Structure 1
């Protein structure tokens, strides 16, 4: 075995230990999907009931990686554990908010229900104290200049205006 391989294996173990220490018991005793439905009716997204790990996010983790570790496969809105979570982001700022199941990610863009409003004001990224732009340098969102953010906001405003008359059909009463 080469010394490079041994170093890489040792570094991976060290990073795992740092992550486990940071997370501690933060992923235990989370609301079930049924309990998350009750929270939703009270205007509380599931992630607001989760324990936030103490201390700083380990330096070797990106914001998205930290969210993946902390959310541990659970949707931030409903606590469902689908095979895949989507990276939710603000279309105005380009900042990642959290990880959502397909249903919640779709509903988030169409609903002003109290739980979605609460989620947008304190998403998992804010709870963990991390910030990262959605996308990559290839699609331009990762390093969005101010004028692009303003164009994105204008597109969001135009889309909201265009769909304003059909959105109420999708909103919960």
Structure 2
């Protein structure tokens, strides 16, 4: 009996995925257990403490195969770093001055973060999840471009925004017909 072409490659890839999963499980350990509920996070907020500041931080370094954003996704395990809510999706929060990813927030907290000077948001900005894990990554656009810090010139911002609009229009132009024909 002959094996299918590529079956050895598929087996190696599957083994690598299993190896990485085991490394991540060992790295995370029980860090997601005992986290505050949304209601408990509200009490923390009143004391000026973001939810993530009471989470257990993995004692080992982040596995080398994980990007900072992936490490945050694994560690936060679907919970907002500010309020511990578990929405369907979390947004990547980043510093507009440095361009660095800080953590993952629910839509409400991400919106409030930019407008709030409450003690819990100040504490979050001073020690965000990325700092807690010891990771650093620039925030990037969905098209692979690194977003420039907010101190970019108006010309650079206009050029970047135009490129994003063009890219978005190209994506939607290719996707919309597929839904119309479905």
Compute the TM-score of the two structures, normalised by the length of structure 2.
0.77
Is 1:150 aligned with 2:151? yes
Partner of 1:18: 23
Unaligned stretches of 5+ residues in structure 2: 154-182
RMSD between aligned residues = 1.4
Per-residue CA distance 1:84-130 (angstroms, 9 max, x = gap): 00000000000000000000000000000000000000000000000
Give, in whole Å, the separation in 1 of the partners of 2:32 and 2:11. Answer: 30
Is 1:49 aligned with 2:54? yes
Does structure 1 retain, via aligned residues, the 8 Å contact 2:48–2:119?
yes
Give, in whole Å, the separation in 1 of the partners of 2:34 and 2:83. Answer: 15
Aligned length: 147
1:55 positional shift: 1.2
Secondary structure (helix, strand or coil) at the match of 1:43 reads coil
Secondary structure (helix, strand or coil) at the match of 1:70 reads helix
Is 1:79 aligned with 2:84? yes
Secondary structure (helix, strand or coil) at the match of 2:115 reads coil
Compute the TM-score of the two structures, normalised by the length of structure 1.
0.81
Give, in whole Å, the separation in 1 of the partners of 2:43 and 2:101. Answer: 26
Give, in whole Å, the separation in 1 of the partners of 2:30 and 2:41. Answer: 19
Partner of 1:139: 145
- The structure with more radius of gyration: 2
Unaligned stretches of 5+ residues in structure 1: 153-173
Give, in whole Å, the separation in 2 of the partners of 1:36 and 1:6. Answer: 44
Does structure 1 retain, via aligned residues, the 8 Å contact 2:78–2:86?
yes
Per-residue CA distance 1:22-79 (angstroms, 9 max, x = gap): 0000010100000000000000000000000011100000000000000000000000
1:151 positional shift: 2.2
Partner of 1:32: 37
Query: What is the 5 A alignment of 1:104-143?
Result: 104-136=109-141, 138-141=144-147
Ranges of 4+ aligned residues in structure 1 off by more than 6 Å? none
Partner of 1:66: 71
